[in-house]
Amino acid sequence: MINSLEDKPLEEMIISAQNGDISVLNHLLRTYQPFIAKCVSEVCKRYINPRTDDEFSIGLSAFNEAINSYSPEKGSSFLPFAKLVIKRKIIDYIRANQRGIKAVSLDETYDDVQMENPMEIRIAKEKYRERQDVLKLTEEIFDFKQKLSEFKLSFEELTKVSPKHRDARDSAVRVARVLYEEENLREYVFKKKKIPMKHLANKVDVSKKTLERNRKFILAIFIVLSEEFIYLKDYLKGVGQ
């Protein structure tokens, strides 16, 4: 049974597991334990022991969740999708633990005896919220990097190709909004992982030469618009509208 499973394409095994094949599910959970441990380790920044670390159990559960929820129609292959699910769950786990540790000192209601220095308490709460915001932004940036890789893009490339002048950036963002808001164009990008330049040129008042020059930047903004990137989208408020 194992030999036949090892010869079977991963995507087919995922479908079999979703259809209730327990043997395939167990095979996937066993075979991909090194992959799961690696994903968890990248978040925790340390070696993860599958036998003793609670984080690995969280990762294993997340991998199982990824199997159940994966849909190839969404445009991503399974392993990058599973990696995102695992890392999000680990970050949520870490965040919950941090919140539990600090809840007493930061979230309880203070009376006059406890609150000897209200200013210090207010500052402590603000710093705590700032740390949470940084953690969430870090999570979004990680997810954004993963999405960029699906489109064969990277942060390093974006720093080189991003428009240098504000007017050019605003124009590129406007184009990205059109690309996202037009259903046919949006579906084409999700399916082909590239921009339909000819069709897009007919929808915007920008030359084909300019579109081609800013193609990677436009595609990156399209990715931000198409995902639930709350913090990254804040940077686009009022831009290109």
Q: Give residue 215's pLDDT.
A: 93
Q: Is the pLDDT of residue 107 over 50?
A: no
Does residue 131 share a domain with residue 83?
yes
Tell me: do 80 and 125 sit in the same domain: yes
Q: 21 in a domain, yes or no?
A: no
- Where is pLDDT greater, at 3 or 162? 162
Segment 117-143 mean pLDDT: 66
Domain co-membership, 143 together with 162:
no
- Work out the average pLDDT over 99-111: 42
For 108-121, how does the pLDDT look when each residue is reduced to its tens digit (9 = 90+)? 343 333 444 555 55
Domain with 229 in it: 155-234
The answer to whether position 85 is within a domain reads yes
Sign of CA dihedral 97, 100, 103, 104: negative
pLDDT of residue 162: 84
Any domain includes 4: no
Looking at residue 154, its pLDDT comes to 86
Residue type, 192: K
For residue 127, pLDDT beyond 70: no
Domain-located, residue 17: no
| Residues 143, 169 within the same domain | no
CA distance 106 to 71: 41
- Answer yes or no: is pLDDT of 24 > 90: no
Which of 150, 175, 203 is a domain's end point? 150
Q: Do 40 and 145 fall into the same domain?
A: yes
Each residue of 145-201: pLDDT tens digit?
A: 888 888 998 878 887 888 888 888 889 999 999 999 999 999 999 999 999 999 999
The pLDDT score that the predictor gives to residue 182 is 93
The answer to the question of residue 73 being in a domain is: yes
Picking from 93, 122, 150, the residue at the C-terminal end of a domain is 150
- 192 CB-near residues (< 8 Å, 6+ apart): none
Buried/exposed code over 70-101 (b: 16+ C-beta within 10 A; e: otherwise): beeeebbebeebbbbbbbebbbebeeeeeeee
Q: How confident is the model at residue 135 (pLDDT cuts 50, 70, 90)?
A: low
- In a shared domain, residues 106 and 130: yes
pLDDT winner (highest mean) among 6-10, 18-22, 30-34, 49-53:
30-34
Provide, rounded to the nearest whole percent, the portion of the chain with pLDDT above 70: 79
3-state secondary structure (DSSP) of residue 57: helix
Distance CA 35, CA 32 (A): 5
Do 99 and 175 fall within a single domain? no
Q: pLDDT value at position 147?
A: 87
Is residue 144 domain-shared with residue 161, that is, in the same domain? no
Q: How many structural domains comprise the chain?
A: 2
Same domain, 139 and 162: no
